[in-house]
Structure 1
Amino acid sequence: MLDRIQIQRIVERQGEEIILHEHMRIERTSYQHGSVTTFAHSIRVACLSIWLADRMHLWDRVDQRALVRSALLHDYFLYDWHEWDNGTHRLHGLTHGQTALLNASRDFQLGGVERDSIARHMFPLTPIPPKYLEGYIVSLADKISATRETLSPTRFKRHKRYARHSRRFRMSRA
């Protein structure tokens, strides 16, 4: 069984092109769940996806590269969905898989497994399930990671910091 360091090395090796891409700077500054950035969340999902595939002994049935790349790109929507935008992020949970797929298709060459896994990672919130095992693993890893991040004791840490900055901004504009 793989240990944490081995899993991280697999993610770094298989996802290097994605991790180093200039648009990942947007993910490093956009928040996903509480105080966790979209970038950190995507890394967590990739590592957990590898861990799940390893623990379930699925290496003869899973494309490791497609699994890592799908996990890293599953939330590649490139905006902070918490920011007000006249309501277009209101359906973020239902639409961000397609947005992530469009952005990822523009920036990277994707195979069918990667495309399907990115587009359908929100199943069952979105009605069409993934076609491939990699998509189910990414979807499961995403839900586990999102639950952990949402229920984390540090969840509201970022929001307090934003509130402090918001007060300062309002005072300076008055």
Structure 2
Amino acid sequence: MIEPKWKQDLEYVALIEDLLNREEVQKLNEYTQHHFTTRLEHSISVSYLSYRIAKRYGWDAKATARAGLLHDLFYYDWRTTKFDEGTHAYVHPRMACENAKKLTELSDLECDIIIKHMWLATVALPKYKESYVVTFVDKYCAIKEVAVPLTGKARNRVKSAWARLKPVTIQ
């Protein structure tokens, strides 16, 4: 099996390894995020792509990688759990930030990335360019995590339907 690209990027791994080894982060593997991925897989995808963008432009790649990994650090099924304080889009970033603070010290930048990553579904504008990166990468990854497996399933259904068709003989 081919190792994921992020695991081959030793500089990236060095930035997140302490967090990734934490039981609290590994527990995200128990939760489905976007139908076909776990919350941990999603968080790593957001973290790594955001890190690569921040690094390319000379921005704070470390904070981007770490906050990207922790942006969805919550432990409930967001499809069924409801809160009196507000919507999932409002509540979970704040919950994730509080959970992240229990694991590591967070900079103002990292807090902004985590709390504001749901901008567009919430009204609080991100303060930093790295926050915008994680916000848009999060949306991109969510769409990709749902769309790619669905297009594969649709393709297989079409192939199956074609295979069931009887050849027509023209006389």
Normalising to structure 1: TM-score of the pair? Answer: 0.75
Matched, 1:39 2:34: no
User: Structure 1: which 5+ residue stretches go unaligned?
Assistant: 158-174
User: Match for 1:80: what amino acid?
Assistant: D
Candidates 67, 87, 96, aligned match of 1:91: 87
Bigger RCO (CA 8 Å, 6+ sep): 1
Alpha-carbon deviations, 1:67-91, whole Å to 9, x = none?
Answer: 1011001111122324x44x33982
Candidates 105, 120, 125, aligned match of 1:124: 120
Matched, 1:115 2:114: no
CA distance in 2, matches of 1:149, 1:110: 28
Number of residue pairs aligned between Structure 1 and Structure 2: 147
Matched, 1:79 2:79: no
CA RMSD of aligned residues (A): 2.3
Alpha-carbon deviations, 1:55-110, whole Å to 9, x = none?
Answer: xx411xx111101011001111122324x44x339821222111101111122111
Over 3 Å counting, the alpha-carbon distance change for 1:142 and 1:8 in structure 2 is farther
- 1:150 alignment counterpart: 146
**Structure 1 residue runs of 4 or more that deviate by more than 4 Å after TM superposition:** 4-7
Normalising to structure 2: TM-score of the pair? Answer: 0.77
CA contact 1:33–1:146 (8 Å) conserved in 2: yes
The structure number with the bigger radius of gyration is 2
User: Structure 2: which 5+ residue stretches go unaligned?
Assistant: 154-171
- 2:97 alignment counterpart: 101
- CA shift, 1:8, in A, is 3.3
Q: Structure 1 vs Structure 2: percent identity of aligned residues?
A: 32
- 2:57 alignment counterpart: 58
